[in-house]
Amino acid sequence: MKVYLNGELVDEKDAKVSVFDHGYLYGDGVFEGIRVYNGLVFRLQQHLDRLYRSAHTIMLNVSMSKDEMKEAVIKTLKANSLKDAYIRLIISRGEGDLGLDPRKCKHPNIVIITDKIALYPKEIYEKGLEIITVPTRRNIPEGVNPQIKSLNYLNNIMAKMDALSCGYEEAIMLNNEGYVVECTGDNIFIYDEGKLYTPSVHLGILDGITRDVVMKLAKERGIEVSEEIISRHDVYNAGECFLTGTAAEIVPVVKVDGRNVGSGVPGEVTLQLIEDFKDLTDTDGVPVS
């Protein structure tokens, strides 16, 4: 497998950066995860827009334009003859010294890794996932804003560990006020009585690209969509619940904190949106060749 490293395509065994890279020392950098379905890169522009917004906020100067980045992504996919893939695009602050000062890092490292991905087994999509709320709170937007898709995922990893230690794969994270915000690597939706709800971005979430796609698909089906404040009580008593993310796509949730959501099986609207999403990813995207 070839990896894109600062303008070159190198063998994966040679794809190395310095241990003095502040991405490694401090999680100082940004990244994206992007999917390719049957030779079509899904929502590439939106992912690049979010990447560059994240970089801008952390004052990381990307030496390439978005068009050049797009070309680099396509070039890497072609080099690996991948038609169905997961792309990990990483921009780290670059090599500096052991201090925090980002000014010491003169050259950000730009890496593009392409590989296969399967997040959950097939039966999870059919039977649904059981999740729990965990004690680790989501970072507050006034500290490290969750809208920045930064290389520092410790907040999410700690919540994931909370879940794993209780025997669950995914967790609902609350914000500092105790409202539901998102999961460790996915956004969350609930559906009840004809309306779809998802926590609004200002509460402290990553503004997921799959979230955005799903909101549009629901609206196209005539479903009202509302970005709201959502409590655990709302989730427990919703008719349906599901998670969205680039890697996970749309995952039905059937139980939260031991309570059945709806009738405890994937909901009709969730299953419809899964189908709509599949139709879209089959046909919409930037062609690799």
- Under rule CB under 6 A, residue 208 binds ligand PMP: yes
- Under rule CB under 6 A, residue 182 binds ligand PMP: yes
Beta carbon nearer to ligand PMP, 1 or 247: 247
Which of 136, 145, 150, 187 touches ligand PMP (CB under 6 A)? 187
Q: Kindly write out the interface string for residues 56-95 of this chain, putting x where it contacts ligand PMP by CB under 6 A and - elsewhere.
A: ----------------------------------------
Angle, CA of 94, 95 and 99, to the nearest 5°: 110
List binders of ligand PMP among 210-249 (CB under 6 A): 210-211, 244-247
- Under rule CB under 6 A, residue 285 binds ligand PMP: no
Q: Which helix (H) or strand (E) holds 47?
A: helix 44-57
Beta carbon nearer to ligand PMP, 76 or 184: 184
- Identify which range of 52-60, 81-89, 201-209, 252-260 contacts ligand PMP by CB under 6 A: 201-209
Beta carbon nearer to ligand PMP, 20 or 153: 153
Q: Which of 70, 106, 149, 160 is catalytic?
A: 149
Q: How many angstroms separate the CA atoms of 275 and 174, rounded?
A: 29
Q: Find how far residue 85's CA is from the centre of its chain.
A: 15
Residue ranges of E strands in the chain: 2-5, 8-11, 29-37, 40-41, 85-92, 109-115, 129-133, 171-174, 180-183, 187-192, 195-199, 224-228, 240-245, 249-256, 259-260, 286-287
- Identify which range of 61-69, 97-105, 128-136, 204-212 contacts ligand PMP by CB under 6 A: 204-212
Q: How many angstroms separate the CA atoms of 90 and 57, rounded?
A: 16
- Under rule CB under 6 A, residue 108 binds ligand PMP: no
Angle, CA of 57, 58 and 59, to the nearest 5°: 90
- Cβ atoms 221, 245 nearer than 8 A: no
| 149 a catalytic residue | yes
- Cβ atoms 111, 4 nearer than 8 A: yes
Residue nearest to ligand PMP (CB): 208
Q: How many angstroms separate the CA atoms of 71 and 224, rounded?
A: 37
Q: How many residues touch ligand PMP (CB under 6 A)?
A: 15
- Cβ atoms 147, 170 nearer than 8 A: no
- Under rule CB under 6 A, residue 186 binds ligand PMP: yes
Which of 114, 150, 156, 281 touches ligand PMP (CB under 6 A)? 156
- Tell the residue number behind the tokens 């500092």, with chain if given: 176
- Under rule CB under 6 A, residue 131 binds ligand PMP: no
The footprint of ligand PMP (CB under 6 A) covers: 33, 156, 182, 185-187, 206, 208-211, 244-247
State the catalytic residues: 149
